[in-house]
Amino acid sequence: MTNDFRCLLCEGQDAELVFPRCKDYYLGTPHVVDYVRCTRCALLQQFPRPPDTSALYSDYPIHAAKSPLFKLLRRVVMADMYFSPAQKVHATLLDYGCGDGGFLDTLSTRRDLRLIGYERGAAQAAHVQAALSVPIHSTRSALLASEEGNVDVLTLHMVLEHVLDPGEVFADAQRLLKPQGTMYVVVPDAESFEARLFGKKWHSLDAPRHICFPGKPHIQELAQQYGFDLVRDRPAAFPNGFAGSLAVVLAGRFHFALFAALLPFGLLFSRLVPTGAHAYWLTKR
């Protein structure tokens, strides 16, 4: 289709246009982007890609501090997506792309876990570190210098779809984890029934912030390339996907009050058809 396309996973040079002119329904920024599918590896990805994604995250509500009620609701609503560490494991757990620190916060009472976070952007990392009293690194170099070979569990909750180089994340995980360490990845599933139902209005498309949507063949390929074994995978219920998409269909944009009103339907849908996101457990070789 284009002369300068390079797949960000397989470096294939040909792609078909899947979703042209996708608007930012979630934040309403003026960005409009296209999604294409690599002809060789079938990875759905944004093209052309932004040279730097940091400008897309100013005022990103997912990174903002939350009320206690919101935190409780999130814990209930999103429980199926988050990694669940075994009890009394005495492990170091790194949440890579920890956002507002919500997942680390749910583990803050666990005395057997040493918690670490990584979130790009010094101000966001400092803010989360102060709020949780957990070390949060804001650069890959500092993270690797401090924790290389120390980590037992590395979690990526809805992170891989945001990055410009998924291979770099797997390379970091390989260096950070101990041998036989666990990597947990959960990503929106672009092949799911939910994604097909809503197309360009699928909440988890989240244009322009979501760059690519690795599915099981891509995770397997990355695992093979960077020295991991994929040991388990399953659909993960993500109620926001259905509720957020329906809000866009009804209102023409993301509308928080409507989204909140539809969330019970999202909960029901995601339990009946738990396909909006997919979770993977990998072991470092």
Q: How far is the CB of 177 from Zn ion (least distance, A)?
A: 26
Q: How far is the CB of 51 from Zn ion (least distance, A)?
A: 20
What does the block give as tokens for 144? Answer: 């690797």
Shortest reach from residue 129's CB to Zn ion, in Å: 37
Least separation, in Å, of the C-beta of 14 and Zn ion? Answer: 9
Tokens for 174, please give them: 């390989």
What's the closest the beta carbon of residue 40 comes to Zn ion, in angstroms? 5
Long-range contacts from 53-56, C-beta under 8 angstroms, 24+ separation? 53/162, 53/164, 53/209, 53/211, 54/120, 54/121, 56/29, 56/31, 56/208, 56/209
Q: Of the two residues 9 and 236, which places its CB atom closer to Zn ion in the complex? A: 9
Q: Is 20 helix (H, G, I), strand (E, B) or coil?
A: strand
> Which amino acid does the sequence have at 200?
K
Q: Which is nearer to Zn ion, 18 or 267 (CB)?
A: 18
Q: Which is nearer to Zn ion, 7 or 94 (CB)?
A: 7
Binding residues (CB under 5 A) for Zn ion: these are 7, 9-10, 12, 38, 40-41, 43
How many other CB atoms are found less than 10 A from the CB of residue 201? 20
The amino acid that residue 217 corresponds to is P
Q: For Zn ion, which is the closer residue by CB, 12 or 227?
A: 12
Identify whether the C-beta of residue 160 lies closer than 8 Å to the C-beta of residue 194.
Answer: no
By beta-carbon proximity to Zn ion, the closer residue of 7 and 107 is 7
Q: Where are the beta strands (DSSP E) in the chain?
A: 15-23, 32-38, 44-46, 91-96, 113-118, 136-137, 151-157, 177-188, 212-213, 228-236, 277-284
Task: State in angstroms the smallest separation of the CB of 41 from Zn ion.
Answer: 3
By C-beta, is 9 or 262 nearer to Zn ion?
A: 9
Q: How far is the CB of 265 from Zn ion (least distance, A)?
A: 35
Q: Between 39 and 106, whose beta carbon lies closer to Zn ion?
A: 39
Neighbouring CB atoms inside 10 A of 84's CB total: 10
Report d(CA 104, CA 71) in Å as an integer.
Answer: 12
Nearer to Zn ion, 13 or 106 (CB): 13
Rounded distance, CA 48 to CA 44, Å?
12
CB of 15 to Zn ion, least distance (A): 8
Please count the other Cβ atoms lying within 10 Å of the Cβ belonging to residue 167.
14
